[in-house]
Structure 1
Amino acid sequence: MSIGDGRIGGAAAASLEEADRIDGFGADVAATLAWTVRVGDTRGDQRSLIDDWSFLAAVACRDVGAARILEPHLDAIDILDQAGRDGYALDLASIQAGPESSWGVFAAEGAGMRLEARDDGTGWRLTGTKPWCSLAQHLSHALVTAWVGDERRLFAVALRTPDVTPHTGPWHARGLQQVVSAPVDFAAAPAVPVGEPGWYLRRPGFATGGIGVAACWWGGALPLRDALVDAARRDGADQLSRVHLGRVDAALWAARLALRSAAREMNGLPQASHPATLAARVRAIVADAVETTLAESARALGPLPLVADEAHGRRVSDLEIYLRQHHGERDLARIGADIAEGRGAW
């Protein structure tokens, strides 16, 4: 099922066919990253958001971990492209970044950790610790937010240098075990500024990137719906099996409509009014739909697939971790604040 009305075609369809031929797709980080870099290098310029989000959803439908690996790489490429369109000159060659680079986006903050950027006269340097850096041990480069005084600024940095030390943990996750998200230490690591201070958070693309994550959540939940369809079709299936399926179908259908509506609004209005509010609404709707899917499938299917079906059990665990990028009531409070302060009217 696609977010849009049509089927995925062209280079995206070819990439999905290639993914289906990769042993350990999603679980084998090296193989999945190599595929991810090829995907980023073959994407066309005339894509719509529906195309992008449908592709992300299709990858998550195959494997949630693969989508978790792919999404930040594509987000980083989009950020760099937008910086170029906004007139910022980026000397990526100075950090040996090119078409073969694999990218992450590290923008989280954590108590007791602070990454600072300073221009020492020879160039910008990053010093300190950044938390929640997914796959830092495997990636070649990352876009990282660092503090310049009281403002955050985005920087591109090479990760495979003596100045950068990724931690191996703590990471005791049962879901997304292969996508280790741990701190990284920077010791005066050379970096390239991407945009002016505050640009990363202010740019319209920040909102679309957040919805791209929601598209992954949605796509990752579709096989659980399929399992409920199979259960409702079995001989002897009762009305309750159809109730569970109906709830999940309605929730995921509404989430699909929210994703489609947001894509069309953002495509038609590049300077959409309050895109952050729109993105927060869509993420909340999709997160609720996926939470409903997880809960209803657990009630309908019982413990057997969780303990006897490796793919099903891994998908559930992966989704539960991935979905924690949504902050629940805190994100809803931000929507409420926007509305109360006159932003994001219907």
Structure 2
Amino acid sequence: MNMHRPGYDKTSKGVRLGKAPLPEDVERLLSQAEERIGDVPALLALAEMTARTTPDPGEGETARLWEILASLASVDVAAARVFEPHLDAGAILKQAGQEALFDGTWGVFAAEGPGHVLEARDAGQSTPAGSGVTLSGSKPWCSLAGYLDHAIVTAQTQSGSRQAFAVDLRSPGVKVEEPLWISHGLREIPSGTVHFADVPAVPVGEPGWYFDRPGFAWGGIGVAACWLGGAVGLVRTFKDALARREPDQIALSGLGEADRLLASGFELLRSAGARIDGGTLGDREDSNGAWAHALRIRGNVAEIVERIQDTVGENLGPAPLARDERHAKRVSDLRLYVRQHHGQRDDAQLGSLVLKGASTW
């Protein structure tokens, strides 16, 4: 076997999208993340330190960024779930020309939900912590809100548009609800509702900018890189199990299929990263085209991950789910994480963009 193929390296914990080996600092990061599995404050501190040197998407090393995210997920899916929004927040602020705000630990809260409305209001005067804007209302699915210093939050403006704002989660008007979390997946990443009462906020970009910017699509692909990295971890467990016994044709077929699926996922990410850095996937005037491509990648990667989950589960049987804590955690974490993909609803959104001209055929 050619051990210089993308994605494969016996001596590495990481995932490679190209032929170049992962730098020593990334290998060191993976070892440090592995030592901190389950320790959210320690992982956040590591993410804060790592963000100083991690490349941002669209600046020439997008694939390297996704390698880091996929590699973290291959070690521990929840660790990648800690890192990804923090790194995304830094990229968003940089894209808005507001990177000076990026200090401490960050999240990105853009989910919507029935019964939850967050409104941005003109406070009438600027405050030391904001720009004359306050947020009031509630926001669902705010992962790690009780651990974070800051967040980029989307809210409805008085004109009816949606806009992103930077907020200090330590402000007196912020109340983090203790979420009901019965899932075994991502247990250390609670995602509950946060209530805001006249919380000072700093606008990040103009109204509508957050969703129209090319970086919105780039960030969506970064999440898919995490999903694919989690699947790499499952396949490595599968491969190690087969190396300890004489595999039959069914097991070898399963391993071959998993390898083929991972290779196609690596190629999707590698190609998208090259297009982003080359300026052909992210023209501000064609945000629909960028998001359509992100939906294609996310949908294909989600299918790859779900098929690998089934293949590995069928071949390994119940024993590792019952007796291997690391494997059982990875399975549960990944099943929940990949549900950020909305299946047919995301395909319907892609279909509407295709009708508007965002097709590749």
TM (normalized to structure 2)?
0.88
Give the corresponding residue for 2:11. Answer: none
CA–CA distance in structure 2, aligned partners of residues 229 and 104 of structure 1 = 35
- Higher mean displacement: 262-271 or 114-123: 262-271
Secondary structure of the 1:287 match is: helix
Question: What residue identity is the alignment partner of 1:66?
Answer: A
Question: What residue identity is the alignment partner of 2:217?
Answer: A
- Counterparts of 1:252-263 in structure 2, within 5 Å, are 252-263=262-273
CA–CA distance in structure 2, aligned partners of residues 332 and 293 of structure 1 = 21
Task: Please tell me whether residue 36 in structure 1 is matched to residue 47 in structure 2.
Answer: yes
1:11–1:43 CA contact under 8 A, matched in 2: no
Once the two structures are superposed, residues 185-242 of structure 1 have per-residue CA deviations (whole angstroms, 9 ceiling, x without a partner) of: 0000000000000000000101110000000011111121112223333433211111
Change (3 A) 1:59 1:337: same
CA–CA distance in structure 1, aligned partners of residues 151 and 194 of structure 2 = 11
Question: What residue identity is the alignment partner of 2:308?
Answer: T
Change (3 A) 1:126 1:3: same
- Choose from 57, 82, 85 the match for 1:69: 82
1:231–1:241 CA contact under 8 A, matched in 2: no
CA positional deviation for 1:3: 1.6
Give the corresponding residue for 1:8. Answer: 22
TM (normalized to structure 1)?
0.92
Change (3 A) 1:70 1:91: closer
Task: Please tell me whether residue 19 in structure 1 is matched to residue 33 in structure 2.
Answer: yes
Give the corresponding residue for 2:152. Answer: 143
CA–CA distance in structure 2, aligned partners of residues 125 and 303 of structure 1 = 52
Task: Please tell me whether residue 185 in structure 1 is matched to residue 192 in structure 2.
Answer: no
- Higher mean displacement: 185-194 or 246-255: 246-255
Once the two structures are superposed, residues 90-121 of structure 1 have per-residue CA deviations (whole angstroms, 9 ceiling, x without a partner) of: 884xxxxx53x100000000001100001111
Give the corresponding residue for 1:334. Answer: 349
CA–CA distance in structure 1, aligned partners of residues 30 and 105 of structure 2 = 19
Question: What residue identity is the alignment partner of 1:33?
Answer: L
CA–CA distance in structure 2, aligned partners of residues 43 and 240 of structure 1 = 41
Question: What residue identity is the alignment partner of 2:66?
Answer: W
- Higher mean displacement: 26-35 or 226-235: 226-235
Once the two structures are superposed, residues 227-286 of structure 1 have per-residue CA deviations (whole angstroms, 9 ceiling, x without a partner) of: 222333343321111121122111111111111111111111153451101111111111
Change (3 A) 1:233 1:11: closer
Secondary structure of the 1:80 match is: helix
CA–CA distance in structure 2, aligned partners of residues 188 and 82 of structure 1 = 27
Equivalent residues, number: 333
Structure 1 gaps, min length 5: 93-97
CA–CA distance in structure 2, aligned partners of residues 15 and 224 of structure 1 = 20
Secondary structure of the 2:152 match is: strand
Once the two structures are superposed, residues 173-194 of structure 1 have per-residue CA deviations (whole angstroms, 9 ceiling, x without a partner) of: 2100010000000000000000
CA–CA distance in structure 2, aligned partners of residues 257 and 43 of structure 1 = 21
Change (3 A) 1:132 1:209: same
- Higher mean displacement: 168-177 or 132-141: 168-177
Secondary structure of the 2:138 match is: strand
Secondary structure of the 1:182 match is: strand
CA positional deviation for 1:66: 0.4
Give the corresponding residue for 2:134. Answer: 125
1:90–1:192 CA contact under 8 A, matched in 2: no
CA–CA distance in structure 2, aligned partners of residues 233 and 11 of structure 1 = 30
CA positional deviation for 1:10: 5.6
Question: What residue identity is the alignment partner of 2:311?
Answer: E
Give the corresponding residue for 1:95. Answer: none
| Aligned residues with identical type, % of pairs | 46
Give the corresponding residue for 1:107. Answer: 110
- Counterparts of 1:1-346 in structure 2, within 5 Å, are 1=7, 2-9=16-23, 11-20=25-34, 22=35, 25-43=36-54, 48-84=61-97, 92=101, 99=103, 101-122=104-125, 123-148=132-157, 149-269=159-279, 271-272=282-283, 273=286, 274-346=289-361
CA positional deviation for 1:317: 0.1
2:258–2:308 CA contact under 8 A, matched in 1: yes
- Higher mean displacement: 71-80 or 11-20: 11-20
CA positional deviation for 1:47: 5.1
Once the two structures are superposed, residues 18-53 of structure 1 have per-residue CA deviations (whole angstroms, 9 ceiling, x without a partner) of: 334x3xx23111111111110112335765110100
CA positional deviation for 1:344: 3.2
CA–CA distance in structure 1, aligned partners of residues 179 and 24 of structure 2 = 39
Secondary structure of the 1:186 match is: strand
2:254–2:312 CA contact under 8 A, matched in 1: yes
CA–CA distance in structure 1, aligned partners of residues 210 and 19 of structure 2 = 32
CA root-mean-square deviation? 1.7
Structure 2 gaps, min length 5: 1-6, 8-15, 126-131
Secondary structure of the 2:203 match is: strand
Question: What residue identity is the alignment partner of 2:18?
Answer: G
Change (3 A) 1:191 1:135: same
- Higher mean displacement: 213-222 or 8-17: 8-17
1:104–1:143 CA contact under 8 A, matched in 2: yes
